[in-house]
C-alpha cells in the first residue's frame, strides 16, 4: 500500500471510465486530494458511479476537482446529458460540498463541465490577510485591539484572536453575525470552538450588539474579563440582558466586577427598575449602581 500517496492528479485523453475505476481500485493509497482533467467522452459524468467509487475506494477523499471538456456543444441540447448532470445534486455531493457546474465556450465550441469544492472567496481573502500579517502579529506583543467585525465571519474572528495572545483590552465596533439561538442550541459546538483561545483580556467594549447571543459569546470567549461595556439597542430587553450577564458572571466569569451599559435616553427610572430586579432576585449581595449620562454603571464585590 502507498501510505504516503495522498494527492493525485490526472490529465487524460480518451481513457475509459471503467479502466480508470480498475486503476483506482488497485492503487491502495489514502488519497485525500483527487484532481482530474478529461477530454472527450461523457462516460465520466456518471454521478452514481463516482459516488460508489469514492465510498468504496476513496474513503479519505476530501478535495475532488474534476474538469471535463466536450468538443460538441450540441451535447448540451441532449436530454440524456441533463439527466446525468442532475444526479450530481444528490445528498452525497451536497454533504461533501462538491458542486457541479458547466459552461459553454462559443468561440472554441467547447462544453466544459466541472465538479469542485465549494469556495467562499471572501473567506479566502480574510485567510490570505491573516497569513500575510501573521508573522508581524506574533512578533509584536499587542495589548489592545480595536476591530470592526461587520464583514468578518465568526470563524475568521476566532483565528484573528489566536494571533493576539497578549491582549488585555478588546473593543469591537460591529460584531460578527451570530444567529439567534445559535449559542444555546449549539452549546457543545461553541465550547469546542471558543475554549482553545487562551487569552488575558480583562477589558471588553462592544459598541453595537444585536442579539444577546453575541454578549454570551464574548463572555465565554474572555473568561478573565473584569470590565465589560456594552451599548444596548432600543429593542433589547434591558432587564433580561442584565439578568443574563450577572448569571454568567456568577457561573463562568469569576473576575468580572464592573459592568457599564450604554442606553439611549438612560434615566433614573431605568436605574431604579434594574436595582429593584437585582434585589428581588438576589442577583448580587454587595454592589453599587449609578447613572452617568446615558450609561448605567454597576460595580460589585
Contact 157, 132 (CB under 8 A): no
Overall domain count for the chain: 2
Burial environment of residue 131 by CB neighbours within 10 A (0 to 12, 13 to 18, 19 or more): exposed
Over pLDDT 70: what percentage of the chain? Answer: 75
How far, CA to CA in Å, does 69 sit from each of 142, 156, 232?
52, 36, 56
Is residue 2 situated within a structural domain?
A: no
The x, y and z cell numbers of residue 195, run together, are 475554549
181's grid cell = 439561538
Residues 153 and 261 in one domain: yes
Same-domain pairing of 85 and 174: no
Q: What is the mean pLDDT of the chain?
A: 79
3-state SS, residue 137: helix
CA distance readout (Å), 248 to 92, 254, 297, 301? 41, 9, 17, 15
- pLDDT tens-digit profile of 7-57? 998 887 777 888 888 988 888 888 988 888 876 656 777 889 999 999 998
| Domain assignment of residue 283, given as a range | 121-300
Residue 20: HSE in the Cβ half-sphere, 13 Å Cα cutoff: 21
Same domain, 106 and 48: yes
Identity of the highest mean pLDDT range in 10-24, 91-105, 124-138: 10-24
Do 81 and 19 lie in one domain? The reply is yes
Q: What is the CB neighbour count within 10 angstroms for residue 62? A: 12
Provide CB contacts within 8 A for 173, sequence distance 6+: 146, 147, 148, 149, 150, 207, 208
pTM exceeds 0.85, yes or no: no
Amino acid at each position: 500500500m502507498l501510505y504516503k500517496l495522498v494527492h493525485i492528479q490526472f490529465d487524460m485523453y480518451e481513457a475509459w471510465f471503467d479502466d480508470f475505476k480498475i486503476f483506482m481500485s488497485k492503487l491502495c493509497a489514502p488519497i485525500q486530494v483527487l484532481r482530474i482533467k478529461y477530454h472527450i467522452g461523457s462516460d465520466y459524468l456518471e454521478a452514481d458511479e463516482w459516488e460508489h467509487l469514492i465510498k468504496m475506494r476513496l474513503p479519505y477523499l476530501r478535495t475532488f476537482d474534476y474538469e471535463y471538456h466536450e468538443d460538441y456543444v450540441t451535447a448540451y441540447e441532449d436530454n440524456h446529458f441533463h439527466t446525468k448532470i442532475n444526479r450530481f445534486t444528490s445528498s452525497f455531493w451536497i454533504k461533501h460540498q462538491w458542486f457541479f457546474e458547466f459552461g459553454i465556450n462559443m468561440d472554441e465550441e467547447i462544453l466544459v463541465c466541472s465538479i469542485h469544492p465549494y469556495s467562499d472567496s471572501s473567506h479566502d481573502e480574510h485567510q490570505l490577510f491573516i497569513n500575510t500579517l501573521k508573522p508581524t502579529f506574533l512578533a509584536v506583543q499587542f495589548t489592545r485591539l480595536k476591530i470592526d467585525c461587520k464583514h468578518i465571519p465568526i470563524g475568521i474572528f476566532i483565528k484573528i484572536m489566536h494571533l493576539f495572545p497578549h491582549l488585555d483590552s478588546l473593543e469591537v465596533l460591529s460584531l460578527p453575525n451570530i444567529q439567534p439561538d445559535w449559542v444555546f442550541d449549539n452549546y457543545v459546538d461553541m465550547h469546542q470552538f471558543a475554549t482553545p483561545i487562551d487569552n488575558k483580556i480583562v477589558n471588553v467594549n462592544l459598541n453595537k450588539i444585536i442579539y444577546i447571543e453575541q454578549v454570551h459569546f464574548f463572555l465565554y470567549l474572555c473568561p478573565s474579563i473584569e470590565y465589560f461595556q456594552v451599548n444596548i439597542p432600543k429593542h433589547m430587553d434591558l432587564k433580561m440582558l442584565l439578568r443574563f450577564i450577572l448569571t454568567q458572571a456568577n457561573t463562568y466569569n469569576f473576575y468580572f466586577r464592573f459592568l457599564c451599559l450604554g442606553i439611549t435616553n438612560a434615566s433614573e427610572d431605568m436605574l431604579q427598575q434594574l436595582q429593584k430586579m437585582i434585589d428581588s432576585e438576589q442577583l448580587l449581595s454587595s454592589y453599587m449602581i449609578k447613572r452617568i449620562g446615558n450609561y448605567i454603571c454597576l460595580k460589585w464585590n
